[in-house]
Amino acid sequence: MEYMINPIKMGGLVKEVSNGMIKVHLHGRLGVICVPQKLIQFEEPIEPGHEMEFYFSYIEVIENPYDYDSGDMVTEHEISPCLLGGKIIEVNDTAAKVAIMDNMGTIAVPRRWMFTPVALEVGQDVQFYFSCMHVVGKRDIPVESI
Amino acid sequence: MSITNETLQQHLKDPAIFCCRREKGLVISAADLEDPGLFDDMVEAGLLTLSPDGLRIEQVLGSTLLTDVEALTPITRDVLDKVNETESTPKAAPAETKAPKSAAAPKVKTTVGGNGMIHIEIDKADKIEGLRLDVPVGAVNGTVCAEGVPAEAGEAAVAQPTGEKKVIRTLLKKHIKITDVEIGNETSLKNGKLTIDKKLTDKAVLEDALCKSLELDVIYPDKRHIYTETIMDVCPIATKVEGELGEGVTKVLDGVVFMLTGVDEDGVQVHEFGSSEGYLDEKMYFGHPGCADENDIIIRCHAVIERLTGMTRPGPFAAHKCQDYIIQAIREVLKNYEGEVVREEVCEDVRRAGNPRVVLVKEIMGQGAMHDNVICPTEPCGILGGQKNVDCGNVPIMLTPNQVRDGSIHALTCIGPATKEMTRHYIREPLVEGLAADTELDLIGVVCVGSPQVNDEKLWVSERLGFLLESLDIDGCIITTEGFGNNHIDFVQHIGQAGKRDIPVVGVSFCAYQGQLVVGNKYATAMVEENMDKGGFENNVAGCSCVTKEVAARAIQMLKNKMAGVEIKPAEKKWNNDVINANNKLLGLPETVLLDNGTLH
């Protein structure tokens, strides 16, 4: 079976900021991404309600991972998709959580977001497209509504 | 993704790009080249930059690489031992490859008269990655052909229906209007007023140890600006008074629905992914098939389930089960209630021998907690007596149209508020209604097939579906899927199973921008879009982007066109709601107005 994951420019809202980590809820509540502040392209302090833009793709379980390079995950230039690796660190009946390579945070997504040739298990290697995040605005809504 | 020799022949004039890293000494063949059909998406995503110095595919075949070349790099003269002589044609320029909009834009020519059928043509496309389209369909009052297709060909291909109606079974749905709802001291129905015994919640929680508490309240149509936890499901109140599901008599309460919401003991939304908590008036697409209607009174049943069980299969199911206990108490009262029947709906399972035999395939979720459904319960839209499709191995299950219209599917509601199909959706699924009512077709049945997690399981289930379709000896089918993600793999696989058996097939799904297909095959040439979000994203509004009456009308017409043997021309490369509205206009349907919910666009 051949399929190809593609990076899509997506949006999300900052739900929480703590200990230098930013928690972003994807629009449509299709995932929760926690990344270090260094991956955010913004000069001002990040706050809940900030609207983020970034590239992301489905996550693919890989049996033979490549030698991924995260050198492009920098905020000095325009955000661009980068093929990254990671490992599954949690799986339940609903979702899976992935630790992004090089300590770049975690991504939790519903099982439907995971493309896999084998049953999901903790420790499996995955790959996906991801990018730094760019702040595009702020929504004036209660945090509990994010 | 490399290309086949067949694909290669269609793209000889397109830019030659390596699909993967290739090393010095390689003799270039189709297996080394990227599919040109993906270039637009790759360029847009920043993965590929086309070069004016890049060669065309016909110029590089059989040439030998003089140096290593990275993936997604245009092949240029300086890396080859030779360049094939070809006809003098302009080199591919980025604009031509990236945005051939004038060539790809669907042009529809209407031809009035003939057999009244509407025809569409999409040029052959063996890959549909990035295909986000409603292909052009035609007008109601005459034959419509895509440009380049002689109207005569379409007319000749369609036989006049000869099917004589034979009724197999009849279901009578008696609709009783409810004008008021109260939480009181007994469960009763009097003069259009439903009263629910508040003590029922105490008994209901005992149905499942994982359910810690239940609360009921009533939300009137003018009081919907109220905070709600995530909307897990919308469930009608209906009961059998004669016969089994799909036949006999069913009583349905109109003007009132149950809405299930839930959190765990820590306050975490049960649908933490795909949750839709917020102000109710902003979080539901009122009037859509799966949702409350504009004037419905909503009985909110709020469940608190055991800590950390929200992401397990038993946790959310406990909430559905306990709510069903309360609804069952109402059903028992409804069975004996002789209130005014405001509408009698006669549903018939019929055969129309001689008409094209068609089935509706509904791919439903089957990957675990919430990605699950209860099939064929004892009561309409109920829980008890049913089986979960996950436990059944997600194999195809055939239902009659009447069984679906009598509440044979209770949705445990997958993730994605906008694209999930809730219980109310199934009891009034527009595709079932439309196909069953169409006197030009012979609707054989509705196949529900689950979508498992693992690729091999998807293929296994899909093969079972393929042989089922083959054994039914059908002339056409519509295949739908709720949501998007890895279920698009089996969705497209199902289309392939039909296609390779020469069964005309139409696919219906949310794709738009966020859910664009990641896999395709040469049979997936006719697709109908469900999206109603302005940015083309899954949004937080329950029931926003599902099958509607308009989506169903377009899909059914598309199927007729496919069965007429008319080729279908691809729509624009990118999802474009203008195409959908052009189709709506041709069919006399209302415009698809996209909801601006703050997603990117």
- Among A3, A52, A59, A60, the strongest candidate for a mutation testing the B interface, having the largest count of B CBs within 10 A, is A3
Domain limit, last residue, from B287, B308, B342:
B342
B114 domain-assigned: no
B392 domain-assigned: yes
Give tens-digit pLDDT for B513-528: 988 888 888 899 999 9
B135 domain-assigned: no
Beta carbons of B514 and A108 less than 8 Å apart: no
Same domain, B80 and B211: no
B144 domain-assigned: no
B124 domain-assigned: no
Beta carbons of B518 and A5 less than 8 Å apart: yes
Task: Give the pLDDT band (50/70/90) at residue B565.
Answer: confident
Mean pLDDT within A25-47: 87
A1 domain-assigned: no
Domain count, chain A: 1
**Of residues B430, B339, B334, the one with CA closest to residue B379:** B334
A146 domain-assigned: no
Where residue A99 sits, what CATH number does that domain have? 2.40.50
**Of residues B170, B310, B156, B289, the one with CA closest to residue B230:** B310
Chain A CB contacts of B369 under 8 Å are 92-94
Same domain, B336 and B396: no
- A145/chain B closest Cα distance in angstroms: 5
**Of residues B543, B208, B178, the one with CA closest to residue B383:** B208
- B212/chain A closest Cα distance in angstroms: 20
Give residue B572's pLDDT.
Answer: 77
pTM: 0.82
Residue in B455, B489, B539 closest to A27 by CB: B539
- For residue A47, what are the domain limits? 8-140
Give residue A144's pLDDT.
Answer: 63
Q: Which residues of B are catalytic?
A: 414
Give residue B276's pLDDT.
Answer: 72
Mean pLDDT within B41-67: 85
- For residue B481, what are the domain limits? 354-559
Domain count, chain B: 3
Task: Give the pLDDT band (50/70/90) at residue B168.
Answer: very high
Q: Return d(Cα B159, Cα B441) in angstroms, integer.
A: 12
Same domain, B336 and B358: no
Give residue A35's pLDDT.
Answer: 96
Same domain, B460 and B426: yes
Where residue B17 sits, what CATH number does that domain have? 3.90.1210.10
Where residue B368 sits, what CATH number does that domain have? 3.40.50
Mean pLDDT within B166-188: 97
A3 domain-assigned: no
- B32/chain A closest Cα distance in angstroms: 15
B513 domain-assigned: yes
**Of residues B256, B278, B542, the one with CA closest to residue B425:** B542
Same domain, B366 and B306: no
B583 domain-assigned: no
Domain limit, last residue, from B79, B99, B119:
B99
Mean pLDDT within B500-510: 97
B164 domain-assigned: no
Residue in A11, A29, A116 closest to B453 by CB: A116
Chain B CB contacts of A119 under 8 Å are 453-454
DSSP string, B454-497: SHHHHHHHHHHHHHHHHHHT-SEEEEEESS-STHHHHHHHHHHH
The ipTM of this complex is 0.89
Interface of A with B (CB under 8 A): 1-11, 27-32, 51, 53, 55, 58, 80-81, 92-95, 108-120, 129, 136, 139, 144-145
Tokens 């830019």, located at residue: B15
Q: Chain-wide mean pLDDT for chain B?
A: 85
Same domain, B375 and B514: yes
Give residue B192's pLDDT.
Answer: 95
CB-defined contacts A:B, below 8 A = 156
Same domain, B315 and B360: no
Beta carbons of B367 and A29 less than 8 Å apart: no
Answer whether residue B131 shows pLDDT above 70.
Answer: no
The answer to whether residues B142 and B108 touch, using CB atoms and an 8 Å cutoff, is: no
Same domain, B338 and B413: no
Mean pLDDT within A27-34: 83
Task: Give the pLDDT band (50/70/90) at residue B501.
Answer: very high
Tokens found for residue B443: 């609707």
Kind of pairing between the strands at A95-100 and B143-146: unpaired
Give residue B286's pLDDT.
Answer: 97
Give residue B387's pLDDT.
Answer: 97
A2 domain-assigned: no
